[in-house]
Structure 1
Amino acid sequence: MAKKSSIRSPESAAPRRIAVVGAGIAGVACARTLVQAGHDVTVFEKSTVPGGRMATRESEFGGFDHGTQYFTVRDARFEKALATATKLVRPWSANTVRILDELGRVVASALPPKEAHWVATPGMNALVKEWAQPLAAAGRLVLETEVVRIEPDKLHAEQWQLQTEGAGSRVHSGFDAVVLAIPSAQAQALLLSSQQGKPLLAQLSDVSVAPCWTLMLAFPKALQPTMAHLGPHWNAARSTHHRIAWLARESSKPGRSPIERWTVQASPEWSERHLEDDGERVKAKLLKAFTEVTGIRAEPPHAVVHRWRHAQTMQPLGKSHIWDAKSRIGVCGDWCLGHRVEDGFVSGLEMALALA
């Protein structure tokens, strides 16, 4: 019987060790798909939990979806994936969305949405956490660990090793491929500092992603559904106010605490101009704008802000991912296609399919 060759083509279907940097929906979708194809995958995430901008900030008054507010479903593959988490996904009646002017007056009342608006329960991060659970259970999800450099493996030059900082601070080696499922600016910075992936850098240069300041407010004396006396009757709104682009009553979402809570997201332009401002100054300005738009003048006992440096895609890549077969490094994320949750899922899925 002929002895099998130990030499493996890099493009073969043989199992490979793959590092995925980033545990947002793109990274987790990519990792899950690769694992299902038989590959050995490790996911590195600098935050304490997976989810990326599908994030939930907990407080004594209830949670705030301070990143992604909801998602829609257009791709059949995303719909099929959601069928595995039906207990976590519920429709949100957001047909009260209105367009508001600078003074909070209704300019146009939106018709019922053309497509259903969905949220994860009890918070938006629940969906990605559920999908990442098998990776965590297998010890393949490394949290609180930031990848700071990609370099050739010291023992096997044809493989990669990752230098990391944080809770898992050490060198992780022996990877046949690396996928960066992180914001485009962070991917660029990591590739530049690592002096790797020049073909990828050239394609990333045109991507533009805007920041977003987010304000979270709680009014514990008001409970749903008996809060009609506090503020407007609508639950979510797009705004033309020069500071605010979006407002949502968190307590109107299914599976949430009934305490009156609002998430207020500043416009990309205003967030860019005030990106490095002091948080307290930003909070005061956004709270004033919130009062102008909603008419709610009560002082909220809970008011905090969060700065997303990479939030809304202004200029996407224009394709679902980039895979450089020569360097064996790929990039993916919602910014490849747009800014929707589904864009992130599709990007991660198709990145994995290109590898698997």
Structure 2
Amino acid sequence: MTSPTVLVVGAGISGLACARALRDAGATVRVVDRGRAPGGRMSGRRVDGRAIDLGASYFTAEPDSRFEAVVHDWLARGLAREWTDTFRTAGPDGIRDSRSGPMRFASPTGLRDLVIDLAEGLDVVAGETVEEVTPATGDTASVSVSFTGSTGAEGFDHVVLAMPDPQARRLLAPGSRALDVLHGADGWHPTIAVALTFAEHEWASDLHGAFVNDSPKLSFVADDGDRRGDGAPVLVAHSSAELAHAHLDDPDGAIAPITEAVSRMLALTAAPVDAFAHRWTFARPAAPHDDPFLLDDRVGVCGDAWGGKASVAAAWTSGDALGRAIARASAFPG
């Protein structure tokens, strides 16, 4: 009796959590991603050997959750660090007050390294693009997958799409029942992340991060040196959805207005010595699904849009739960 074969499309934290749950249950799992390395929206960019987080800003972990055990393992191995339990709130004209909450965790080497750690021991193929996924149509039929550059389709017992809804919709064949559940592009908010490097640290040492309210340009600003723990004079600002929509075709065009907004908010006198932008077209769902994942016709969808609240923890939990659900529904050796 052979183990079921599962294709996971998307090597972000959700897809790899799903793949690990399936592998641990005895499935044969293959992970593909169109990018050059695992990471998804926990990716960043290296500048002079230093990683700058441009996607997720931090993560939390619910006490006694399955994800908390993963976080404790990362902490024990030095892959993650406690960052702060206090953020500032701000408006367009400056800092307003502080807000305490759960401990926010970060990574001293960049959040992508946590995703790469999850990929350890898995069959992950980078730079491979899926063209279309046709769900199973009967009890014995397999899920059909067409890959870019391939002349034929390949069959899998299950296929997991670990990605935002609009991207999953593009891959599903016409008539797929999942299309009735998944949101389109208008159900997601974009953001543009702008990294600003300064010659020296001019802002308050207790900034940590700031949620920005009532701003047409900003939504969040993080002290990346404080987040990483190396004190580098780097800020990462996430735009408002409004500003991102205006610059989706020209992310670099958002650098000047975001720089001006950050400088005004933090009363900075020096201009950054370097700046670059990264576009996230589907940064967060406008209305996350209440269900932890979707599984229909042996095609699953998981990610931070599932589970009622978009977050890194929700993405991992969604993928892990979907992997275990597929395992329960499948025939395994022995």
Give the alignment partner of residue 219 of structure 2, picking from 236, 245, 250: 245
State the Cα deviation string for residues 192-225 of structure 1 (Å, max 9, x = none): xx2252x211111389221101101111x32xxx
2:316 paired with 1:355: no
Which structure 2 residues correspond to residues 320-335 of structure 1 after superposition, within 5 A? 320-324=292-296, 327-335=297-305
Measure how far apart 1:277 and its partner are. Answer: 4.4
- Give the structure 2 partner of residue 108 of structure 1: 97
For structure 2, the residue ranges without an aligned partner over 5 or more in a row are: 328-334
Q: Measured at CA, do residues 24 and 152 of structure 1 come closer, stay the same or move farther in structure 2, by a change above 3 Å?
A: closer
SS at match of 2:316: helix
CA shift, 1:34, in A, is 0.3
Residue in 1 that maps onto 2:127: 144
Map of 1:10 onto structure 2: none
Paired AA for residue 82 in structure 2: P
- Deviation per CA, 1:41-85, whole angstroms, max 9, x where unpaired? 001111111121111211127221111111111151111222333
Q: Match of 2:45, SS?
A: coil
Query: How far apart, in 2, do the equivalents of 1:265 and 1:37 lie?
Result: 39
C-alpha deviations, 1:100-131, integer Å up to 9, x for none?
12112x32222x32x21111231011111001
Q: How does 1:260-339 map to 2 (within 5 A)?
A: 260-272=233-245, 274-324=246-296, 327-337=297-307, 338-339=309-310
Provide the residue aligned with 1:82 in structure 2: 71
Q: 2:34 aligns to what SS in structure 1?
A: coil
Q: Aligned AA for 2:155?
A: G
Question: 1:348 and 1:328 mapped to 2: Cα distance?
Answer: 15
Q: TM-score with structure 1 length normalisation?
A: 0.83
Q: Which runs of 5+ in 1 are unaligned?
A: 1-5, 7-13
Deviations 1:251-279 (A, max 9, x none): 112444x321110001123323x143423
- Alignment CA distance shift 1:152-1:188 (3 Å): closer
Contact 1:209 1:335 in 2 (8 A): no
Matched, 1:69 2:57: yes
Which residue does 2:143 correspond to in 1? Answer: 160
Q: How far apart, CA to CA, are the structure 2 residues paired with 1:176 and 1:303?
A: 46
Give the secondary structure class of the aligned counterpart of 1:263: strand
Q: 1:142 deviation in Å?
A: 0.8
Partner of residue 200, structure 1: 178
Contact 1:61 1:259 in 2 (8 A): no
Q: Separation in 2 of the partners of 1:62 and 1:302?
A: 14
Please give the alpha-carbon distance, in whole angstroms, between the structure 2 residues aligned to 1:190 and 1:353. 23
SS of residue matched to 2:114: helix
Report the TM-score, using the length of structure 2 for normalisation.
0.88
2:105 to 107, 114, 118: 118
* Matched residues, number: 317
How far 1:132 moved relative to its partner?
0.4
One-letter identity of the residue aligned with 1:46:
R
Query: How far apart, in 2, do the equivalents of 1:176 and 1:196 lie?
Result: 19
| The structure with more radius of gyration | 1
